[in-house]
Structure 1
Amino acid sequence: MIQRKIILIMMMAYITGMYASPSFYIKRLSVIAKSIELVLPDTLKPAQDYDNVWTYKGRMLRVRTNDFGDVVHIGYKLFDHQLASHYTPREALDFIERYALEQDLDIDKEAQERKKLADNVKCTQGSLSMLAKVTPDTPVTIDKIEHRKFRVKWSLGAHVLEFYFPVDYQSIIGANTIELEEVFERNIKRVLPIIDDNLLVDWENVKVVHSGNLLIANEGTYLNDSIRSDIFLKENSVKRTLILDSKMPVYSVKNILLTGVFPDEIPLRLTIDCYGYRKKQVDDISLQQFIGLCQLEKCEMYVGIKTYNPEEITAVVFALNREMAYNHVLSVRFPLGLLQGESISVTGTVYTYIPLQNVTEKFFTQDLNN
């Protein structure tokens, strides 16, 4: 995939470095903090790993914030700083540390959820009670079977603790479908849209294939050959630039949907298709904010064009997070008057955090309502 130059923190609308009070990414973390009487200061900085400040029952805690400044993790410090800062996906380590801490808690309201979570953890050597002996210095290996499960294995002297847990985003994050939909809505409003292609990619150094007078970058497919990540460029004696031309609407719309690059913000009338056959309208956001949020979540972007006529293009955007095995799927109607300078909104319906096994070609072939 094309490597972004942009520093992700630049994409945040509300980061100031100081917050009136710490916010929790999900409700579960607020419950944990209350249970262990963890009082966090109002000076937590975005994208910070606090692993040498607080303790619980004599064990060091790790508290981590995300790029928005939310508290995104509370757990026992089980991994050294070097491993924790370099391992991807970081959410897997967070799950293990939070899970170990939750074994020491007695939260009545969370009892059933913890049982469900525990049922997803399969211990194959030793017992989970051995987590109490794990420290950041304990030798550990972590393996991932793509899209299926993680395996963690500690060597505790003559004994071994090994367990598996599935690559299931809801369990790993600790939030159900409804809360994840709320998280998506909250986050998309906080992303600062980036529209300048020079901020996003060094197009001069992107590998391309030539097709006539076109340069095609980042060639790849998803689900079928019609759903692609191709980005179309033109080149002159000075530099390469994205094609954004009303005379080349299909190439231009694909470029916009994959990168968000356009001279202006594009208003997006977005409907979130919610759990329980509910629909939620999100106002006052832009297409660039949706794309920016997907980039922040390290998603790969793919686009399939469904229909094309002189008035509009309909398309489906797939934002694929391979590490956490989920997709966002956005079905959009893109009025071509936008390419001619008209002030028009794109309309779309998004399905958020869909497990990979639930994403099929039907999302592209069916007639999705927008």
Structure 2
Amino acid sequence: MKFFANIIAAVLTLSALGGPTAFGAPVLYDADCLERMVDALDYDLDQQYAWDSADTTLMLEFKKRPVRIDISDGRVVHVGYRMFSDSQREHMPYRQVFDFLERYALDAELPVKRVKSVGTMLAEDEVTCSESGFSRLRSYASDSTLLLSVADIGGRRYRVEWHKEDTPVYYIEFPIEYELLHGTSMPENERRLVADIQAWKGSRERVDTLTSREELVPIYRKNYYILPGDSYLLDNLTSNRYYMLTEDSDSLFVPIYTRDYPLESLATLLVTGTLPNDFSFEMKVDGYNMLPTVTVPVNAALDYFRSCGCVPFFGVGDFTDPVATCYLVMRNPSEGYCHLMRVTANVSELDSRHGTMACRLTPYIPMSRVASLFDD
């Protein structure tokens, strides 16, 4: 028997991009838990709405409380109680926090058979809150008279607080962990990651140029310039980029991209992800699933990681000409993980800008464990 057949659905279209609605097309979900939640709400998206290329928010009710279903590019990306205003979402860079709290609060109240009680779930997920309890989250989050603050505590936990003037009235804390924030498992993450990289169409190739010497550090013995970036874990794991003067200018700098400077070229190619090339990754995922090796354009893969909020750091593991073994760490502190890519490239292919690079990808490593991978 279906529950809550009297759910009221009012469609609020925020924007529609890329053409007409594609009625009858299957609805895709960013996570398995989102599909399960929509099913528990007794709301049949496949029958009532489907999107080909649209950004839409559906507003409905559950237990007389507002629920939002967010769709982006035809995929359901969020399901949860509507606890945070559009203004808060627009002006505070914590969408992953808002989505988590809204989804978690709704999921705790859905009419599904539970293996664990809500209290056990909170304890195992290391979610803590004020003495008034988790059930009070919705009322405080929906109180427009309270001030809201979100804090990152040492890169390990988020703390969300509501204040009455200067007095805290409620807080909730939880780990910065990708699986918790998105309600997913690691096998699901791996499966979706490979599929999303293969389907990604967002790459925009361009050649980076610089006109300001002030940003660059000259390396005279190498006859090039460095645009210094940050380092991560190790001094030689950096986001540095390498540049040379153009032949007919004393002020225009272009990225190094030549066999004459193989490691600097690889660093700039993989850190920027925007230099024109026809390189492909032969990508193998090391993880829980026995996923097949896939071939993906280098720039498209790097562009996908950047679109997810990852920042790249490059280091050299070994170089025996012409084979270079490099490491590319894609770091996403706001969601608590790194992707580690071990890339093997034949540098003799740099001048032709065409070839394949072997890539072993270890995805979604918790940031607390990344340092141990470089102990040796």
TM range (shorter): 0.7 to 0.9
Conserved? CA contact 2:159–2:171, under 8 Å: yes
RCO comparison, higher one (Cα < 8 Å, 6+): 1
Cα separation, partners in 2 of 1:260 and 1:159, compared to 1, 3 Å: closer
Match of 2:276?
263
| Counterpart selection for 1:98 from 99, 103, 118 | 103
Map 1:135-150 onto structure 2 (within 5 A): 135=142, 137=144, 139=146, 140-150=148-158
| Counterpart selection for 1:36 from 32, 38, 41 | 41
Match of 2:77?
72
Cα separation, partners in 2 of 1:342 and 1:161, compared to 1, 3 Å: closer
Match of 2:224?
214
AA of the residue aligned to 2:261: M
1:281-302 CA-to-partner distances (Å, cap 9, x unmatched) read: 3323122222112111111110
Conserved? CA contact 1:243–1:255, under 8 Å: yes
Map 1:106-125 onto structure 2 (within 5 A): 106-108=111-113, 111-112=115-116, 117-119=121-123, 120-125=126-131
Q: Shift of residue 317 of structure 1? A: 0.3
Task: Measure the CA separation in 2 of the matches of 1:125 and 1:204.
Answer: 57
Cα separation, partners in 2 of 1:58 and 1:195, compared to 1, 3 Å: closer
1:170-226 CA-to-partner distances (Å, cap 9, x unmatched) read: 11110011111112111101222636334xx56446933222242212422111111
**1:234 aligned to 2:244?**
yes
Q: Secondary structure at the match of 1:347?
A: strand
AA of the residue aligned to 1:148: R
Conserved? CA contact 2:281–2:358, under 8 Å: yes
Cα separation, partners in 2 of 1:150 and 1:319, compared to 1, 3 Å: same
| Counterpart selection for 2:349 from 338, 357, 362 | 338
Q: Shift of residue 325 of structure 1? A: 1.7
AA of the residue aligned to 2:150: I
Task: Measure the CA separation in 2 of the matches of 1:18 and 1:271.
Answer: 36
Task: Measure the CA separation in 2 of the matches of 1:273 and 1:114.
Answer: 33
Q: Whose radius of gyration is greater, 1 or 2?
A: 2
Cα separation, partners in 2 of 1:85 and 1:312, compared to 1, 3 Å: same
Cα separation, partners in 2 of 1:343 and 1:217, compared to 1, 3 Å: closer
- Give the % identical residues: 21
Q: Shift of residue 165 of structure 1? A: 0.9
Cα separation, partners in 2 of 1:77 and 1:204, compared to 1, 3 Å: farther
Task: Measure the CA separation in 2 of the matches of 1:17 and 1:26.
Answer: 25
Task: Measure the CA separation in 2 of the matches of 1:16 and 1:364.
Answer: 51
Q: Shift of residue 56 of structure 1? A: 1.9
Cα separation, partners in 2 of 1:208 and 1:113, compared to 1, 3 Å: farther
1:254-287 CA-to-partner distances (Å, cap 9, x unmatched) read: 1111122443321211110012xx5423323122
Cα separation, partners in 2 of 1:294 and 1:97, compared to 1, 3 Å: same
AA of the residue aligned to 2:122: A
Conserved? CA contact 1:228–1:303, under 8 Å: yes
AA of the residue aligned to 2:66: M
Conserved? CA contact 1:193–1:286, under 8 Å: no
Cα separation, partners in 2 of 1:59 and 1:155, compared to 1, 3 Å: farther
Map 1:266-281 onto structure 2 (within 5 A): 266-275=279-288, 278-281=289-292
Q: So what's the TM-score if we normalise by structure 2?
A: 0.82
The total of aligned residue pairs comes to 344
Q: Secondary structure at the match of 1:197?
A: coil
**1:83 aligned to 2:88?**
yes
**1:164 aligned to 2:177?**
no
Task: Measure the CA separation in 2 of the matches of 1:315 and 1:169.
Answer: 26
Match of 2:191?
182
Match of 1:353?
364
Match of 2:15?
none
AA of the residue aligned to 1:101: L
Match of 2:9?
none
Cα separation, partners in 2 of 1:33 and 1:223, compared to 1, 3 Å: same
Match of 1:61?
67
Q: Shift of residue 84 of structure 1? A: 1.1
Task: Measure the CA separation in 2 of the matches of 1:351 and 1:316.
Answer: 11
Q: Secondary structure at the match of 1:34?
A: helix
Match of 2:160?
152
Q: Which moved more, 1:154-163 or 1:26-35?
A: 154-163
Cα separation, partners in 2 of 1:353 and 1:113, compared to 1, 3 Å: farther
Structure 1: runs of 5 or more not aligned: 1-14, 366-370
